[in-house]
Structure 1
Amino acid sequence: MNLEPIDPETAVELYIAEREADTAASTIRSHRARLSHFVRWCDERDIENLNELTGRTLHEYRLWRRNDGDLAKTSLKCQMDTLRVFIRFLGTVDGVHPNLHEKVRSPDLHPGEDVREVMLDSEQAKAVLEYLERYEYASLPHVTLALLWHTMMRLGAARTLDLKDYSPEDQCLAVEHRPETGTPIKKGSQGERLVALSGELCMLLDDWLRDQRPDVTDEHGREPLLATSHGRVCKTTIRRYCYQYTRPCAISRECPHDRDPETCEATNSGQFSKCPSNVSPHAIRRGSITHHLNSDVPETAVGDRANVSQKVLEMHYDQRTEKEKMEQRREYLGNI
């Protein structure tokens, strides 16, 4: 068949342009980053026309990527899966043979290999929120971390909230997909939902809105619920709060790593993530989901509230041991 010459950089840009119309910006960034390694590999091997790709050269890339910087098996799978989608696209625009994508091999993962177990446990979450309630009540870090823990929201969903999305009368929050004004959510409109709030969390939100929230709008004229003096809180700020306040020393607890707070680099602003004990926003979400499951909240209710399917819930978020699950089932059997 007749193929049209195309260089790696142009091919990636065509692919990205094709995906941008119906793909979240975060996914686009991930795909671009993964494919940047393929472009680098092509450059090192003087591959200027992707028409030349074969099953053998793609296998050589896989071996190169696997050995490049001790890449984890799960990360290699993500990169090869993205490459397969990319090669499939090229086959539709006469860049490579239409069936070449079938020769892109991706590692097989055994059950559990693609699951991260890092999470914020309920005891640590309680300690963090108690510290914030006592010393930084109704501050932006306090409201943000309380919201993430109690609602199991993703970082992006919490950031998209506006004042009008909070109903103190109904004690709930409306999560909406608004990509046209800069706040898309994962799963798009399928991720929209109402999230019930406790009376305690509503009281915290009310105090934040009355006493501390800056009177600001974002660049689209919307009034963000989580706001700084500059407008809507950014994702990096939310991540910084998570890393900052889940450090044991930040909440007056002893360092489990025998580090001296006076010299530890993780005590410096901008380096909080270097603490071995702190966690990311996603680990807070995972911990909260596990906490709700351990508290006998039905899996369907947890899944709907957290906007996650039953399969993904069991595979990626439920950190209960098999014995814990058995004992919870025993409680139900006792009522039969």
Structure 2
Amino acid sequence: MTELQPINPESAVEMYLNERQSELADKTLENITGHLRAFCEWCESEEIDDLTELTGRRLHDYRIWRQEGIAQTTLSINLSSLRKFLRWCVSIDAAPEGLDEKIILPSRNRETEARDTMLNADDAEEMLNHLRKYQYATRTHALLELMWHVGCRKGTVRAFDLGDFHSRNQTLEAHHRPDTDTPLKNGRRGQRTLALSDYVTEVLSDYTEHHRYDKTDDYGREPLFTTRYGRISLSAVKDAAYTMTRPCVYGSCPHNRDTDDCEAVDDNSASLCPSSVSPHPIRRGSITHHLLNDVPETAVSDRMNVSKDVLDAHYDQRTADEKAEARRKYLDSI
């Protein structure tokens, strides 16, 4: 067994930052320095002057100390920096083997978060502009273009068949087909015909002609959105949302992370990005965007298949002033 070499936290942090300085952007280095400075501050308060003394229990104490007064996402980023630092310490025999693995990052219940978050219109437009330029009419582009345009649920997206799309009429039909594994959330009440814009119709037409896999599902139906194996899965719809809503895909990182040091840079870990969202916040953002652009609530309710009460309680993210201004536009015309 390798003998550990005692070292105090401040010296170890200084060595670590010096080693990483050349490979990290200045802003990333600054952020990591701040994260590790907090750790050194805690070590000093706990009279820990040798990293070889650290245990999983002590790291848990640090987590409790650090989480006070900061957001869950911020805590996750801080602990991620500490875990990488301790992994380096283990590699130079300055900390017990496996110590880094004892840091458990906060679990992020993205579905819970989705109740309070949405993809705003500016971010959606940037994301879609990127897809229009670099991935035009791919499945991912067609999928997200449609989701933003009609504000549909991921289960509805999965349920569409090729025959439900009518390019000449510029419509897309949503059907409740529970016997063949594509139920709609609201059953037959969720069935409706969706009007499509010229552009979205064109994107779907080009997707079906050039990029759609010509596959049937397990019931012999022809899905609109397919994989190499058949109908797209709900998880694949979710993965597409997480992957493309990372701000670094279409712009800069708002969290000042460096791509060489970010755990969310890999598509398989896209959900770890603090800014990426699942399909539901895209739906919420679409609904709010429609309302802000003076689409009547009754029309939004019908199009997005959501009752007026639920729309008001859970989807309409307009401020009180924005709602008042919308009412004024209708009253001024009376």
Q: TM-score range by the shorter chain?
A: 0.5 to 0.7
After TM superposition, give the deviation of residue 153 of structure 1 in Å: 0.5
Q: Residue 123 of structure 2 aligns to a residue in which SS? A: helix
State the match for 2:125 in structure 1: 126
- Does residue 166 of structure 2 align to residue 167 of structure 1? yes
**Hey, what's the Cα distance between the residues in 1 that align with 2:189 and 2:120?**
29
After TM superposition, give the deviation of residue 329 of structure 1 in Å: 1.7
AA aligned to 1:332 is: Y
**Hey, what's the Cα distance between the residues in 1 that align with 2:307 and 2:147?**
19
**Hey, what's the Cα distance between the residues in 2 that align with 1:147 and 1:190?**
21
Q: How does 1:1-40 map to 2 (within 5 A)?
A: none
AA aligned to 1:202 is: T
Retained in 2: the 8 A contact 1:115–1:315?
no
State the match for 1:309 in structure 2: 307
**Hey, what's the Cα distance between the residues in 2 that align with 1:114 and 1:245?**
18
- Does residue 225 of structure 2 align to residue 231 of structure 1? no
Going from structure 1 to structure 2, the CA distance change for 1:216 and 1:299 (only over 3 Å counts) comes to same
Retained in 2: the 8 A contact 1:244–1:272?
yes
Q: Residue 194 of structure 2 aligns to a residue in which SS? A: strand
Going from structure 1 to structure 2, the CA distance change for 1:115 and 1:136 (only over 3 Å counts) comes to closer
Q: 1:282 aligns with which of 271, 280, 283?
A: 280
Count of aligned positions: 223
- Does residue 202 of structure 2 align to residue 203 of structure 1? yes
Retained in 2: the 8 A contact 1:224–1:231?
yes
TM-score, scaled to structure 2: 0.65
State the match for 2:269 in structure 1: 271
State the match for 1:296 in structure 2: 294
After TM superposition, give the deviation of residue 228 of structure 1 in Å: 1.2
AA aligned to 2:298 is: T
Cα displacement string for residues 100-138 of structure 1 (whole angstroms, at most 9, x for unaligned residues): xxxxxxxxxxxxx99932000011110011000000000
**Hey, what's the Cα distance between the residues in 1 that align with 2:266 and 2:168?**
41
Q: List runs of 5+ in structure 2 lacking aligned partners.
A: 1-111
Q: CA RMSD for the aligned pairs?
A: 1.5
- Does residue 180 of structure 2 align to residue 214 of structure 1? no
State the match for 2:8 in structure 1: none
Retained in 1: the 8 A contact 2:175–2:190?
yes
TM-score, scaled to structure 1: 0.65
Retained in 1: the 8 A contact 2:114–2:280?
no
Identity between Structure 1 and Structure 2 (%): 48
Of the two structures, which has the highest relative contact order with CA contacts closer than 8 Å and spacing of 6 or more? 2
**Hey, what's the Cα distance between the residues in 2 that align with 1:181 and 1:114?**
31
Pick the structure with greater CA Rg: 2
**Hey, what's the Cα distance between the residues in 1 that align with 2:310 and 2:253?**
34
After TM superposition, give the deviation of residue 330 of structure 1 in Å: 1.8
Q: Residue 172 of structure 2 aligns to a residue in which SS? A: strand
AA aligned to 1:179 is: P
After TM superposition, give the deviation of residue 332 of structure 1 in Å: 2.2
Retained in 1: the 8 A contact 2:215–2:228?
yes
Going from structure 1 to structure 2, the CA distance change for 1:167 and 1:140 (only over 3 Å counts) comes to same
Q: Residue 231 of structure 1 aligns to a residue in which SS? A: coil
